[in-house]
Structure 1
Amino acid sequence: MILSIIHKVLNRILGIESYFRNERLTLRDKINKFIEELPESYRELLSEHVGNTDDWIGKLVSTRVFLTHGDRENMAVSNPYKLVQMTKKFGFMVRIFILQKLGITIDKPKILNKFKNVLTTHY
């Protein structure tokens, strides 16, 4: 199970890195730009569930660096439950981002309900 979660978080981060590949930005800046391009209501939703978004991005970046290179262990999310929750939240926002970029209309009440279900579902 934990290996599956690790693959999910790394693949989603890789997707964001690939999307912004032509921009000379750090990973932190790419994730920040990704979040800034989400509709405001979803940025607010993310903030409600992660607290300080900048700190959350820092943990996401440190976790990716640790999982890939073994560096920054003290700053990475290593608790399996917290890693699962971070992966769920990030994955959900990636899906919103993709739907938005594809021009697909997002039914906000349905999405909010799905988000709540995602957070309470166990892997």
Structure 2
Amino acid sequence: MKMILSIIHKVLNRILGIESYFRNERLTLRDKINKFIEELPESYRELLSEHVGNTDDWIGKLVSTRVFLTHGDRENMAVSNPYKLVQMTKKFGFMVRIFILQKLGITIDKPKILNKFKNVLTTHY
């Protein structure tokens, strides 16, 4: 149970961070996450697409999961399988880190980052 709560907190905190970053823009959550992804370097957008498939569907799952976890007003959580929730959270968290590094002006060593990404996906909580 603690692991699930930890994952829930991670996904909610990361989404809240994106909402806060774009707080001055009158956008829906879906549009904020989409804008966040659009601001990633192209190679990382491609990497995300390779691992999530249709990015719009993935964003929809993030939004629906966040709405359910926050308000509980959805009949079913978009990602109810704990393993899939963990994977979604890992991928989203990784992209948030890339976004932050980029905004801080830190040069990203792509081969090293790709290796880290693979490690993130294979590491268990």
Give 1:75 shift.
5.1
Structure 2 alignment gaps of length 5 or more: none
Shift, 1:76, TM fit: 1.5
**Alpha-carbon distance in structure 1 between the residues aligned to 2:75 and 2:15:** 18
**What is the RMSD of the two structures over their aligned residues, measured on CA atoms?**
0.7
In the TM superposition, residue 9 of structure 1 has moved relative to its aligned partner by 0.2
In the alignment, does 2:90 pair up with 1:67?
no
Q: Distance in 2 between matches of 1:26 and 1:117?
A: 32
Which structure 1 segments of 5+ residues have no match? none
Of 90-99 and 72-81, the range deviating more from structure 2: 72-81
d(CA) in 2 for partners of 1:50, 1:102: 26
Percent of pairs with identical residues:
100
Moved more, 23-32 or 64-73: 64-73
Against the structure 1 CA distance between its residues 67 and 36, is the aligned structure 2 distance closer, same or farther, given a 3 Å change threshold? Answer: same
CA deviations over 1:52-85 (Å, ceiling 9, x no partner): 0000000000000000000224352111000000
The aligned counterpart of 1:91 is 93
Q: 1:7-45 deviations in whole A, cap 9, x for unaligned?
A: 000000000000000000000000000000000000000
Give secondary structure in 2 for the equivalent of 1:24: coil
Aligned length: 123
Match of 2:73, SS?
A: coil
Secondary structure of the equivalent of 1:75? coil
Q: CA deviation at 1:122?
A: 0.2
Provide the C-alpha distance between the structure 1 equivalents of 2:115 and 2:70, rounded to a whole number of angstroms: 33
> Residue 73 of structure 1 aligns to a residue in which SS?
coil
